Amino acid sequence: MTASAPTASLPQRAMMPVLIALSVTHLLNDMIQSLIPAIYPIIKEAYRLDFGQIGLITLTFQVSASLLQPAVGLYTDKHPMPYSMVVGMGFTLAGLIGLAYAGSYGFLLLSAACVGIGSSIFHPEATRMARNASGGQHGLAQGIFQVGGQTGSALGPLLAAFIIVPRGQGSLAWFSVAALVAMMLMVWTAASYAKLDRARPPKVATASVAPARPGKRSVAFAITILIILLFSKNAYSASFSSFYTFYLMGKFGISIQNSQVMLFLFLASSAAGALGGGMLGDRIGRNKIIWFSILGALPFTLILPYADLFWTGVLTIVINLIMSSAFAAILIYALELLPGRVGLVGGFFYGLSFGLGGLAAALLGEFADILGIEAVYKICSFIPLMGLLAWFLPRLSEGTRGAKVGH
């Protein structure tokens, strides 16, 4: 009996290279995606766009990224396709080159849609692989996976500041090298995952009693609350990813490069928040993380519109450090509500994350044209109040998928 523990833990340790590789591919994928909002100041001037049109670019990318993800996830739950990530990155590569050489606003929209389609193929399958490679440490695995994405999203504005801003829109094509590297790494990851998965010892059936699970109505109620909470997080995040540079340049008069560096600092804090939220969720429960990750940011979001440049930088880092811990906790909570549907749930929630963020960006762009960019941040400062809804989430028993409704 004592010899069984090391044997059981071996495949869990062996899956760590797969988790790290998935995190790196997530980094490259999201870095390329984050170049889209990073070039907004450049294309706004070059194409004479208003804030509404900028928001529409975000909406096009986010909607194209959101619509396919649940369908891709549903299919890969039944028919796993690790190599589909390579196809997704092919779409992203095509969109990236299109953005570099777009001759019209319409072509910008089409190219942004291609990048979104690439994302819709990548995320559901990569989420399923990360879950299966977790060795039971779902929060840690999702945290590692999320760190890659958050780091990539942060790198985009920084690279744009020092490469694209000085050299122009065409230098976007240089990042096709990153897409090609990602495709090669995805091939290796898919092959390694398949090899390690075959080496996993078969599960031994036990006579243990299945844990209680919430009924369909409780699951539907909980999913609805999760969607609202996800909207609150992404609506606030959209105000930064799409309009933060304009806010800084308009209110404080700083340069495009300096505003991109400020955006990098904001997004870089996401990596620490994502990993910390995933690890703490394994220890103290998803409910507490979800509650804190949204409502906990409220005092800082309320102060932000009235802060000077220095404190604006400090507050935005604190806000994102707190709020970035939300997604991993929300996703794992949903996976525990709907066990066995990893691809579907991953695709649905990643799709919602993109779609809700795009919708919010489009609406905020219209508000910015009508009310001014500073007014947008005063309106958005109240969004974290939606975190109060986390009180109504069913309590999931740690270590099981059972649930207790209420607090």
Tell if the pTM clears 0.95, that is, is over it. Answer: no
**Digit-coded pLDDT (tens) for 258-276:** 888 888 888 788 777 777 7
**Digit-coded pLDDT (tens) for 9-47:** 434 443 788 888 999 999 999 999 989 988 888 898 889
| 177 CB-near residues (< 8 Å, 6+ apart) | none
- Structure tokens that stand for 300 in this block: 């800082």
pLDDT at 406: 39
Q: What is the mean predicted confidence (pLDDT) over 295-304?
A: 93
Is the dihedral angle over the CA atoms 335, 337, 340, 344 positive or is it negative?
negative
Q: What is the mean predicted confidence (pLDDT) over 227-244?
A: 83
Q: Identify the structural domains of the chain with CATH numbers, from first to last.
A: 12-199+212-404 (1.20.1250.20)
What mean pLDDT value characterizes the chain?
81
| 95 CB-near residues (< 8 Å, 6+ apart) | 111, 112, 113, 114, 115, 116, 117, 118
DSSP, residue by residue, 122-175: HHHHHHHHHHHTSTT-HHHHHHHHHHHHHHHHHHHHHHIIIIIHHH-GGGGGGG
φ and ψ of 403, to 5 deg: -150, 150
Whether residue 402 is predicted with pLDDT greater than 60 in this model: the reply is: no
DSSP code, position 82? T
- Structure tokens that stand for 155 in this block: 């790198």
Q: Could you tell me which of 370, 387, 360 has the C-alpha nearest to residue 301?
A: 387
φ and ψ of 82, to 5 deg: -55, -30
Q: How far is CA 327 from the centre of its chain?
A: 7
Q: List the Cα angle 390/147/172 in 5-degree steps.
A: 120
Residue type, position 379, single letter:
I
pLDDT at 200: 58
Q: What is the mean predicted confidence (pLDDT) over 368-397?
A: 86
**Digit-coded pLDDT (tens) for 238-248:** 788 778 888 99
Least confident range from 12-16, 312-316, 355-359: namely 12-16
Contact 152, 119 (CB under 8 A): no
- Structure tokens that stand for 234 in this block: 């992404």
Q: What is the mean predicted confidence (pLDDT) over 167-188?
A: 93
- Helix axis angle, 69-78 to 105-132, nearest 10°: 30
pLDDT at 278: 65
Unique residue bearing structure tokens 């935005």: 316
Residue 32: count of CB within 10 angstroms of its CB: 28
- In whole angstroms, give the CA distance from residue 377 to residue 381: 6
pLDDT at 353: 67
- Helix axis angle, 286-295 to 326-337, nearest 10°: 140
- In whole angstroms, give the CA distance from residue 377 to residue 244: 9
